[in-house]
């Protein structure tokens, strides 16, 4: 079935407007394929449309069959740890981004689409946030923020406190940690790396095995491995708890790209915490924050509309009720960033 026929029940079912434009660009020299660029005329910035159009036309390759391959051609920093292009398979979320002035790309035969430009908040949010009541959606976002912080910092803070800052924890807990580590043969950094790598192996094994037994292997494997490591006096019980909480928190991150960023950054912070304690952690966090603030996605600052500040509905860490979100993010939609007038409610 042609992609033009597939677009109608997917994207146009959620975004019904005569202003929705679908533009076809042929890519590939040996095997030609059509890339469909979709945007809303009058909302999407014309400069953004021209930029992404020229970037697609400038692709020189023999074969392009998937939007994930397209992402590697159009992204600005190919070797960056942080992705500036979003992949999604949900038509409702694609329509929501179109309404805010973004551009999406679809390739015939690929199950998902790409969204540009994106910010950090795009990876932090989930589609269900807007569908839930104000209290429920904001509660889940706060939990998700805690999950990001726990997944990134918990093992690092543990190793920094144990190695350098033992006076910061209560004396009873310090005695308990010292007693559990008395019979262990390895330093703390070796234990954490051993458990973290083992958890990553279990996670990858759970993805690759058949779906019916994948979750079972992950749960049973983690329980057996953790219990065996403690009984063999290889790792301490407290460390198993730390790694388990860290792994569970990483599963609460909604986007795969952000999850990979957090997981890889955790290893960098582990090295800094093991070598210099809180000073090393602070140094890496400052450098990372400065790098994130310098990134742009097709000309849009990655941390906007918060830093730098742009007029918007403040849909960042938390959100207002849907009827009060009257502004589109002006960092993306410069042409028409007024979404709706404030309604008069009795």
Tell me: pLDDT of 150 over 60: yes
pTM over 0.85: yes
Contact 327, 313 (CB under 8 A): yes
* CB contact at 8 A, 328 and 45: no
Confidence of residue 5 (pLDDT cuts 50, 70, 90): very low
Render pLDDT for 124-139 as a digit per residue (tens, 0 to 9): 998 888 888 999 999 9
- The 10 Å Cβ neighbour count of residue 313 is 18
Q: In the predicted model, what is the mean pLDDT of residues 293-308?
A: 90
Among the listed residues 97, 133, 126, 121, the one whose alpha carbon sits nearest the alpha carbon of residue 20: 97
Position 169 scores a pLDDT of 82
Question: CA Rg, the chain, in Å?
Answer: 23
Note if the bond before 103 is cis, omega within 30 degrees: no
Q: Quick one: which of 48, 53, 88 has its CA closest to 68?
A: 88
Q: What are phi and psi of 269, to 5 degrees?
A: -70, -35
The answer to whether the beta carbons of residues 156 and 242 sit under 8 Å apart is no
Q: What pLDDT is attached to residue 230?
A: 79
Q: Identify whether the C-beta of residue 106 lies closer than 8 Å to the C-beta of residue 113.
A: yes
How far is it, in rounded angstroms, from Cα 145 to Cα 317? 8
């Amino acid at each position: 079935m042609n992609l033009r026929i597939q677009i109608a029940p997917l994207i146009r079912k959620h975004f019904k407007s005569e202003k929705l434009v679908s533009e076809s660009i042929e890519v590939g020299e040996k095997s030609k394929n059509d890339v469909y660029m979709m945007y809303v005329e009058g909302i999407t910035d014309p400069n953004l449309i021209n930029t992404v159009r020229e970037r697609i036309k400038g692709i020189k390759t023999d074969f392009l069959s998937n939007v994930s391959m397209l992402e590697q051609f159009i992204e600005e920093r190919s070797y960056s740890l942080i992705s500036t292009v979003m992949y999604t398979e949900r038509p409702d979320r694609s329509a929501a981004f179109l309404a805010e002035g973004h551009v999406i790309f679809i390739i015939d035969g690929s199950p998902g689409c790409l969204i540009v430009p994106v910010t950090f908040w795009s990876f932090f949010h989930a589609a269900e946030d807007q569908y839930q009541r104000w209290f429920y959606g904001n509660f889940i976002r706060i939990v998700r923020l805690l999950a990001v912080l726990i997944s990134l910092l918990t093992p690092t803070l543990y190793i920094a406190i144990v190695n350098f800052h033992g006076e910061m924890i209560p004396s009873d807990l310090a005695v308990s940690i010292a007693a559990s580590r008395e019979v262990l043969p390895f330093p703390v950094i070796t234990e954490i790396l051993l458990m973290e790598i083992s958890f990553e192996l279990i996670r990858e094994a759970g993805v690759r095995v058949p779906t019916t037994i994948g979750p079972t292997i992950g749960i049973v494997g983690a329980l057996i491995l953790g219990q065996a490591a403690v009984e063999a006096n290889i790792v301490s019980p407290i460390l198993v708890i730390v790694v388990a909480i860290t792994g569970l928190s990483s599963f609460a991150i909604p986007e795969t790209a952000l999850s990979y960023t957090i997981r890889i950054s955790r290893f960098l912070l582990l090295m800094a915490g093991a070598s210099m304690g809180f000073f090393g952690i602070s140094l890496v966090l400052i450098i990372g924050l400065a790098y994130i603030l310098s990134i742009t996605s097709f000309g849009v600052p990655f941390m906007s509309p918060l830093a730098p500040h742009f007029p918007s509905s403040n849909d960042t860490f938390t959100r207002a009720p849907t009827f009060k979100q009257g502004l589109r993010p002006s960092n993306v939609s410069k042409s028409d960033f007024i979404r709706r007038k404030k309604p008069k409610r009795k």
